[in-house]
A = this chain, B = another copy of it.
């Protein structure tokens, strides 16, 4: 549908999951059709912003009709690559890795965890739900043999780069990185970071600089 999606800015790309989420909410409320003005009110972007964003992918609204919620939800899902499933592994079976393994919403969205990996012999062999924790030394082979798409890195920072190197050797396609480091990987491997500390420190910045002025009462 889109002409050259690699030219689309990351800002637009990062808004797409938000559209997807709001459209799902509308569907859950049995709203099947929505004007761009009303969609704008719900989602908090301007109607013009929404039109611009969606025009990157061919545009979906019809003059005088607005948007068909179901069709738009489906199309944005397809653009996001949610019309298929992904085989994932979780590396690092500590608290965060276990929390992600236990969080079934990712699986419902099509991201299916096939195995976990750790270096701690006490964890190897255990299961989280039905997902087995395996020896990190076997990860490259496992990725190749099981055609794994995405590696989720939940290790401490110091281990993350060597884990990423192993995933790359196993021919992983994408990495979802929770470790507080910026990974070095070849250009064909996609990395998306979740840097929790950076998010928390952004909050403390905002608390320090933006709170007092807008509130004299606290």
Contact = CB atoms under 8 A, between A and B. Distances in A.
A71 interface: no
Contact of A18 (B95, B110, B194, B198): B198
List the number of copies, as a whole number: 2
Interface string A49-90: 000000000000000000000000000000111100010000
Interface in A180-218: 180, 182, 186-190, 192, 194-211, 213-215, 217-218
Contact of A188 (B2, B182, B214): B214
A97 to B, nearest CB: 9
A149 interface: yes
Given A81-B208, A174-B211, A106 B197 contact: yes
B218 A203 contact: no
Given A6-B213, A207-B190, A202 B95 contact: no
A36 interface: no
A17 interface: yes
Best-buried of A21, A109, A213, A218 by chain B (most CB within 10 Å) = A21
Nearest to A176: B203
Interface of A is mostly: helix
Nearest to A205: B80
Contacts of A119: none
Contact of A210 (B14, B190, B203, B204): B190
22 contacts: A5-B209, A6-B210, A13-B202, A14-B198, A16-B205, A17-B198, A18-B195, A18-B198, A20-B201, A79-B208, A80-B201, A80-B204, A80-B205, A81-B204, A109-B200, A150-B207, A174-B206, A187-B214, A188-B217, A190-B203, A190-B210, A192-B199
